């Protein structure tokens, strides 16, 4: 299935940080997707988060298929430790995207957590003990 989204002109960019647990959850859920794209419905805001290897894009679920803002250029390698926030670039394509940004980050985490909870668990693993002489 091929779904296309449009981008308007870039209005502005800003550097932001994403808590480490948010970033880990994004990467974990994306790694479980075989097609390389994860669609995350954010029902409380009527938005859709679209995660791929390069960015997280957000689309208003009520309007046309226009990307309103995207999170890109994640820099996990710049952190001093794994619990530190991850810096990224937030690109705004819509004037109202600034108004929803703070709420979007918290509601997106809730939607990700719900998705992780609902995903089918993988088969159990076994641990093989290593015998030492």
Residue 2 has pLDDT above 80, yes or no: no
Residue 131's pLDDT is 84
- Kindly list the domain boundaries of the chain, sorted by start residue: 6-116
Residue 109: band (very low, low, confident or very high) from pLDDT cuts 50, 70, 90: very high
Indicate the burial class of 71 (C-beta count within 10 angstroms; 0-12, 13-18, 19 or more): buried
- Which pLDDT tens digit goes with each residue over 12-37? 999 999 999 999 999 999 998 888 89
Residue 120 has pLDDT above 70, yes or no: no
Whole-number Å distance between alpha carbons of 86 and 77: 8
- State how beta strands 38-42 and 47-51 pair: antiparallel
Mean pLDDT along residues 73-85: 92
67: number of Cβ within 10 Å:
19
């Amino acid at each position: 299935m091929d779904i296309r989204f449009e981008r308007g002109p870039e209005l502005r960019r800003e550097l932001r940080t994403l808590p480490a647990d948010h970033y880990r959850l994004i990467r974990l859920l994306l790694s479980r997707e075989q097609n390389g794209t994860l669609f995350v419905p954010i029902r409380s805001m009527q938005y859709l988060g679209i995660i791929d290897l390069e960015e997280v894009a957000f689309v208003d679920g009520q309007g046309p298929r226009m990307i309103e803002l995207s999170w890109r250029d994640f820099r996990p390698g710049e952190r001093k430790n794994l619990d530190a926030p991850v810096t990224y670039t937030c690109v705004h394509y819509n004037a109202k995207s600034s108004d929803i940004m703070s709420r979007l980050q918290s509601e997106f985490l809730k939607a990700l957590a719900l998705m992780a909870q609902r995903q089918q668990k993988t088969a159990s693993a076994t641990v093989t003990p290593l015998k030492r002489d």
